[in-house]
Chains A and B, each alone.
Chain A
């Protein structure tokens, strides 16, 4: 029970302080793997992978993450925690119209977004080394994913299906 409450708080905190579906990944990785030791870096990578396979908006990888921490209750706890921060859009819809163009607000949001990209690069590197190590094969597969994604023509599920088949049989 205490673990579930703590999980709720950690997911809520990480999601409140980030934007987008995987902006909370760096902080959750740190809290769950480095600080708490509840999960391995490999499990986080698996959760991200499963999140890509399942339907729905990007960001539901926390369902798998929660499941790894505490089964079905863990998964539901994590889901509830990611639903709450986006509710703030209702407040923002009214506030933002009034403060748009304020340099402090604009500058803070941009600085935040920029450092998030820097931190994300580091985390992606961790995930890569946690899976198959930094071999040519693993790096080629990452490149393959990035290139197919950049064409904007291949659906994500197809990219991952192909990647899975190549990984399993070659």
Chain B
């Protein structure tokens, strides 16, 4: 891990400015972090950035927080992690708090209620459907490249998630861990069956 000579107050200001500008959700935030880290500050190059962000999608929780933590650590060690998280989250968490508090007072205003019930919430569900669809497609495409049986198992796991949780009302945790275990068992079996080293 290479450490740069940036001062902590300056690091804080950099992340604060990312946090302040990041209206428009995760995509905007991601683009801002990328621009700051690669183009502006040259903390890491493009390939290294890609490797680091792919790690972030595997760990639990928000990917952009993991990315902030990784970059903060690279740049200034443990204090860098704390400073970077504070800078990024201070504006966004305060704004979320203010909007929520304002909303509680406006909840019974008919226009606000209609905007939310018939506009923002359904549109948000649409955004969620798009994201979920993209995730599912990416996973299925990857499975399809490995073979038809892999694709079939992957489709079955998605359907199992819908049926076991939506119809049989099984607890989410059990459904997810069950999905993981089935995925692991199948992958081990599949590798043994088809990926034996070819005879030389």
Chain A contact residues, majority secondary structure: helix
Q: B115 contacts which chain A residues (CB < 8 A)?
A: 163-165, 167-168
Q: B56 contacts which chain A residues (CB < 8 A)?
A: 86, 89
Whether the Cβ atoms of B176 and A112 lie closer than 8 Å is yes
Chain A: minimal CB distance from B160 (Å): 7
Known contacts being A17-B173, A145-B122, is A111 close to B59, with CB within 8 Å? no
Chain A: minimal CB distance from B115 (Å): 4
CA–CA, A13 and B22, complex, Å = 27
**Interface size for chain B: under 10, 10 to 19, 20 to 34, or 35 or more residues?**
35 or more
Known contacts being A89-B70, A114-B157, A116-B176, is A103 close to B96, with CB within 8 Å? no
Cβ of A38 within 8 Å of any chain B Cβ, yes or no, is no
Whether the Cβ atoms of A59 and B157 lie closer than 8 Å is no
Whether the Cβ atoms of A86 and B65 lie closer than 8 Å is yes
Chain A: minimal CB distance from B36 (Å): 14
Q: B136 contacts which chain A residues (CB < 8 A)?
A: 114, 117
Residues 94 to 113 of chain B near chain A (Cβ within 8 Å): 95-97, 99-101, 103-104, 111-112
CA–CA, A120 and B93, complex, Å = 25
Whether the Cβ atoms of B139 and A144 lie closer than 8 Å is no
CA–CA, A93 and B179, complex, Å = 25
Whether the Cβ atoms of B92 and A56 lie closer than 8 Å is yes
B159 nearest in chain A by CB position: A118
Whether the Cβ atoms of B126 and A142 lie closer than 8 Å is yes
Q: Which 5 A-B pairs have the closest CB atoms?
A: A111-B183, A118-B161, A167-B119, A107-B187, A56-B92
